[in-house]
A and B are shown apart, each in its own frame.
Chain A
Amino acid sequence: MYHLLGIKYISEENINDIFQAAENFKEVIHRPIKKVPSLRDMTIANLFFENSTRTRISFELAEKRLSADVINFSASGSSVKKGETLLDTVNNILAMQVDMIVIRHSVPGAPVYLSKHIKAHIINAGDGTHEHPTQALLDGFSLKEKFGTLKGLNVAIVGDILHSRVALSNIFALKKCGANVRLCGPPTLIPAHITELGVTVSHNLRETLEWCDAVNMLRIQMERQNIRYFPSLREYSMQYGLTLPLLESLKKEIVILHPGPINRGVEISGEVADCSNSIILNQVENGVAVRMAVLYLLAQANKTTQKVS
């Protein structure tokens, strides 16, 4: 692994290596001195062309705990609108001898595009509706921690699948690790032919919850919806909102994940988010360990073991 551009470009073995390393780093961040010198010779640029708080902080913390030098760059909107091309912006930063970049961008494939033109390692921190690989890895890691394995696990992903890079990366990661995946949401937010990816689809939340061992509740991506895919949040919530009465009416217990930020009362009620089956905050904690693992493994990699497809 030279870059992490998406889960679709890596193997199950890569994923297991990351999980293994993440386990070690999780131990590290529970020590009194939470820092190791692994990346002290590396300079990492966090390039966020799209707003982010949690992912950016999580990456920054991971980088700092590995003793890397860190620079942060934020720009709202695409660089094209500002008159400078993405490649020019990135090359300007790389000219300052940066070894690795973490990039979030609104355009699908932007990190893949950069990987064809620059030498630095690239980590995709979310590219439009395409992929968000570290989120899928931390979700997978959290599930593995909880269940011991992902093989044969029934995982449901509920919500705005059409606009969600988290959903897509999760589908790829879970399928590669042998889990079963079911998607649930309004038909207007489920891409056509999605079953070709080896997943099942349901439009009934109760049925989906009865089926699954764990459910990943996605946020409605209002910012990506330029038309109304459903009439109101109220109607959405009536059909696809996870509430405590619904959860309690099931014959079994299920584990609840959410990539954040949570819209309490929309896709998930407050009580559910805070209940004992929710591992939402474990996800956040694991996010740092998983990102440390990815940074560490990429830094070890040699350019010869590259790359996309």
Chain B
Amino acid sequence: MTLFRNIKIIDSQSPFNGQSKDILVENQIISRIEPADSIPVSPEMTVIDENGACISPGWMDMQVHLSDPGFEWKETMSQTAAAAAKGGFTALICYPETNPVPDNASIIKALYQQSKNQNTCFYFAGALTEHKDGKDLSQMYEMHTEKAIAFTDGLKYPQSAGLMLLIKQYISPFNALIIVNPYDKSLIGEAQINEGNTSLQLGMKGIPEIAETIALDKEWHLQQYSPVRTHIQPVTSPKALSSIREMKKKDHRISCGIPSYYLLLTDDCLLDFDTHFKVFPPLKSKAQVNQIIQAIAKKSIDVITSGHFPQGLEEKNCEFEVAEAGMLNLQTAIPVAWEALVESGAIQTEALIDMISHYPRKITGIQAVTISEGQPADFTVFSAETPWTFSEEMIPSTAKNSPFTGKQFSLKIIGTYPLNGKWQKN
């Protein structure tokens, strides 16, 4: 039995939203919600009583680049789970980043098997195409029967419109979800950073925004021809976001998401070639980031993710051009989003919780969770009143590629209670 004493409920779907209550959890179920400081403490209870604590439905991350199996020297699945818990996530959707690539049912099955004993709910996405090489359809139906939560080629977007159409047509009978990040490879070439002042200063080719918008338009034509549940992620172009806003008005099957670091970091960070800031798609300019935040304030984005992508020391400690893209962000994702969105006044706490709890479950078709009596316990406890500093020692993974070490955050995660799991305090 765990008693959460005098805790503020942040949950747009809960009848107690905005109220401070005592919450008792028994046998993985929220058994009682009573007025604050009213439930008497019994000896068998663990009592959590933290200053300024809030509780929300468990956070769910729709973009984790899993390293295990294949790249265990970056991060094992247990380390991913540990980082997720520290970051407040009770559920993760893992991209098919592993080796072997999950492009068939047996690998999906093995991944679920491997994740069974973790104190975090893992969901796995299968590849859209065989080996994620953008040529032939993967065995999506069988993966779907083995509970592949979505299909994506990760950060690789199949360039052929013909292939994308086949994919959409093929999956439509079983109503699967695809996750794509449309870009036109021919407009990117070998460029690795955003086109703008930074690319000029560094003498490097830049990726123009039209690389995203042109491909998105193509995706929209395909979607109208053969509509399926399509989640566009990561979308980092403000122009693409305003197009998606219009598309969503016409087609409710479309949704989109963005990793939180795109909301706080700008391409200025790359001015001394720091590989920690190398991500794909690349960081955007200050002006573009402001536009993205304004788009979030207008509810154009459904989901905030971590975009967590572990890379080993060797992949990052090298020349910029040969460094791998990606950054750790499971532990910092929501503190970063909090700073960029809530602290800045762009949105309210409740709106952020919707984007990291309710919408990811709605988009992926996972059962909704809410803070009310009789509901299974699946929640995150956090406080915005305890500043803390993120340090390298806090990272459970072997990979340490976070640009946020040494940074102070205002949002602190106190602990998580994953579905069918146990309370884990930070």
CA distance A162 to B199 in the complex (A): 11
Interface residues on chain B, size class: 20 to 34
By the criterion CB–CB under 8 Å, are A130 and B197 in contact? no
Contact with B along A109-120 (1 / 0, CB 8 A): 110110000000
By the criterion CB–CB under 8 Å, are B195 and A129 in contact? no
By the criterion CB–CB under 8 Å, are B322 and A113 in contact? no
Chain B residues with CB under 8 A of A112: 272-273
By the criterion CB–CB under 8 Å, are A113 and B318 in contact? yes
Q: Does A80 contact B (CB under 8 A)?
A: yes
By the criterion CB–CB under 8 Å, are A80 and B320 in contact? no
Q: Does A67 contact B (CB under 8 A)?
A: no
Within 8 A of A (CB), among B158-213: 189-190, 195-197, 199-206, 208
Residue of A nearest to B317 (CB): A87
Residue of B nearest to A129 (CB): B203
Chain B residues with CB under 8 A of A193: 195-197, 200
Chain A residues with CB under 8 A of B189: 226-227
By the criterion CB–CB under 8 Å, are A196 and B200 in contact? yes
CA distance A87 to B317 in the complex (A): 9
- Among B197, B199, B208, B319, the residue within 8 A (CB) of A107 is B319
By the criterion CB–CB under 8 Å, are A309 and B319 in contact? no
Chain A residues with CB under 8 A of B196: 193, 196
Chain B contact residues: over half helix, strand or loop, or mixed? loop
Given A113-B273, A226-B190: A128 in contact with B208 (beta carbons within 8 A):
no
Chain B residues with CB under 8 A of A168: 203
Chain A residues with CB under 8 A of B197: 193, 196
Q: How far is the CB of B164 from chain A (nearest CB, A)?
A: 25
Chain A residues with CB under 8 A of B206: 191-192
Q: How far is the CB of B186 from chain A (nearest CB, A)?
A: 9
By the criterion CB–CB under 8 Å, are B203 and A108 in contact? yes
- Among B205, B271, B273, B318, the residue within 8 A (CB) of A162 is B205
By the criterion CB–CB under 8 Å, are A80 and B272 in contact? no
Chain A residues with CB under 8 A of B271: 309
Chain A contact residues: over half helix, strand or loop, or mixed? loop
Q: Does B321 contact A (CB under 8 A)?
A: yes
- Among A162, A196, A309, the residue within 8 A (CB) of B272 is A309
CA distance A129 to B204 in the complex (A): 6
Given A192-B195, A192-B208: A107 in contact with B322 (beta carbons within 8 A):
yes
Q: Does A71 contact B (CB under 8 A)?
A: no
Q: How far is the CB of A124 from chain B (nearest CB, A)?
A: 12
By the criterion CB–CB under 8 Å, are B322 and A80 in contact? yes
Q: How far is the CB of A173 from chain B (nearest CB, A)?
A: 14
By the criterion CB–CB under 8 Å, are A113 and B208 in contact? no
Chain A residues with CB under 8 A of B202: 108-109, 130
- Among A86, A191, A192, A309, the residue within 8 A (CB) of B318 is A86
By the criterion CB–CB under 8 Å, are B200 and A108 in contact? no
By the criterion CB–CB under 8 Å, are A86 and B319 in contact? yes
Q: Does A3 contact B (CB under 8 A)?
A: no
By the criterion CB–CB under 8 Å, are B318 and A197 in contact? no
Within 8 A of B (CB), among A79-95: 80, 85-87
CA distance A308 to B321 in the complex (A): 19
Q: Does A8 contact B (CB under 8 A)?
A: yes
By the criterion CB–CB under 8 Å, are A308 and B203 in contact? no
CA distance A237 to B190 in the complex (A): 27
Count of A-B contacts with CB under 8 A? 73
By the criterion CB–CB under 8 Å, are A107 and B195 in contact? no
Chain A residues with CB under 8 A of B319: 78, 80, 86, 105, 107, 109-110, 113
Within 8 A of B (CB), among A191-214: 191-194, 196-197
Within 8 A of B (CB), among A205-237: 226-227
By the criterion CB–CB under 8 Å, are B321 and A107 in contact? yes
Given A8-B201, A128-B203: A109 in contact with B273 (beta carbons within 8 A):
yes
Residue of A nearest to B195 (CB): A192
Q: Does A291 contact B (CB under 8 A)?
A: no
Chain B residues with CB under 8 A of A194: 200
CA distance A105 to B322 in the complex (A): 13
Chain A residues with CB under 8 A of B195: 192-193
Within 8 A of B (CB), among A126-184: 128-131, 162, 165, 168
Within 8 A of B (CB), among A54-113: 78, 80, 85-87, 105, 107-110, 112-113
Within 8 A of A (CB), among B305-355: 314, 317-322
Residue of A nearest to B275 (CB): A113
Chain A residues with CB under 8 A of B190: 226
Given A86-B318, A86-B319, A112-B272: A191 in contact with B201 (beta carbons within 8 A):
no
Q: How far is the CB of B371 from chain A (nearest CB, A)?
A: 47
Within 8 A of A (CB), among B276-329: 314, 317-322
Chain A residues with CB under 8 A of B208: 192
CA distance A85 to B273 in the complex (A): 17
Chain A residues with CB under 8 A of B317: 85, 87
Residue of A nearest to B186 (CB): A227
By the criterion CB–CB under 8 Å, are B272 and A108 in contact? no
Q: How far is the CB of B103 from chain A (nearest CB, A)?
A: 29
Within 8 A of B (CB), among A286-309: 308-309
Chain B residues with CB under 8 A of A309: 271-272
By the criterion CB–CB under 8 Å, are B272 and A197 in contact? no
CA distance A133 to B272 in the complex (A): 16
By the criterion CB–CB under 8 Å, are B203 and A131 in contact? yes
- Among A109, A128, A165, A191, the residue within 8 A (CB) of B199 is A191
Chain B residues with CB under 8 A of A86: 318-319
Chain B residues with CB under 8 A of A165: 203
CA distance A147 to B203 in the complex (A): 28
CA distance A308 to B204 in the complex (A): 18
Chain B residues with CB under 8 A of A108: 202-204, 273, 320-321
Residue of B nearest to A172 (CB): B201
Chain A residues with CB under 8 A of B204: 108, 128-130
Q: Given contacts A87-B317, A108-B273, could you give 13 more A-B pairs where the C-beta distance is less than 8 Å?
A: A78-B322, A80-B318, A85-B314, A86-B318, A105-B319, A108-B320, A109-B272, A109-B319, A128-B203, A129-B205, A193-B200, A196-B197, A197-B201
Chain B residues packing against A (C-beta within 8 Å): 189-190, 195-197, 199-206, 208, 271-273, 314, 317-322
Q: List 30 A-B contacts (CB under 8 A).
A: A78-B319, A78-B322, A85-B314, A85-B318, A86-B318, A87-B317, A107-B319, A107-B322, A108-B203, A109-B319, A109-B320, A112-B273, A113-B273, A129-B203, A130-B202, A130-B203, A131-B203, A162-B205, A168-B203, A191-B200, A192-B195, A192-B206, A192-B208, A193-B195, A193-B196, A196-B196, A226-B190, A227-B189, A308-B272, A309-B271
Q: Which 10 A-B pairs have the closest CB atoms?
A: A109-B273, A107-B319, A130-B203, A129-B203, A107-B321, A168-B203, A109-B320, A110-B319, A112-B273, A308-B272
